[in-house]
Structure 1
C-alpha cells in the first residue's frame, strides 16, 4: 500500500473525507491530521504529509529535540515559474 492509499484509507475510516488538511505519516503509521501544512518543528525529520489530492511533503533536516526545519514538497510547486536556462 502506498502512503497516499494509506492516508486515503485513514481519512475514510476516521471521517476526514472532504475536510482538506494533511494526514501525517511516520514509519508507516498515521500520526495525525492537521488542517494545513505548518510547523515542521512539531514533527521529526522523515514524516510525510499527504493531502487529499495525493500530494506529499517530507519533513527534513533538524533533529529529534527541535523537530524538522521545513516541509519539502515531493511534487512540482504550483504557480512557480522556472528560471530561464543559461
Structure 2
C-alpha cells in the first residue's frame, strides 16, 4: 500500500468516512479534502492525488498552481 493510500485510509477512519465512497484528495502527502466524486481538476493544482476506498488513485496533471490542473489521470493501467 502506498503512503497516499495509507494516509487516505487513516483519514477516513479518523473522521468517519469509511463506507461513504468518494475520494480523499492529498497534496504532498497531506490530506486536503474529501469529495463525493472525482471531478473539477481545475480546482486542484497539478500533483494532487485522489484515492478512493478501493485503493484506486488519480493524479492531477498539466496546468498551473494558479489556474488549476487540466485533468485527473488514473495511476493504474486502464483495462482493455
Structure 1 runs of 4+ with >3 Å offset: none
The gaps in structure 1 that reach 5 residues or longer are 82-86
Q: Give secondary structure in 2 for the equivalent of 1:75.
A: coil
Report the structure number with the largest CA radius of gyration.
1
1:35 aligned residue: 36
* Structure 1 position 28, deviation (Å): 1.2
Residue-pair matches, total: 79
1:75 to partner: Cα distance = 1.1
RMSD (Å), alpha carbons:
1.1
Tell me by how many angstroms 1:76 deviates.
2.5
Shift of the alpha carbon at 1:64?
Answer: 1.3
- Give the Å deviation of 1:30: 0.2
Runs (5+) with no aligned partner, structure 2: none
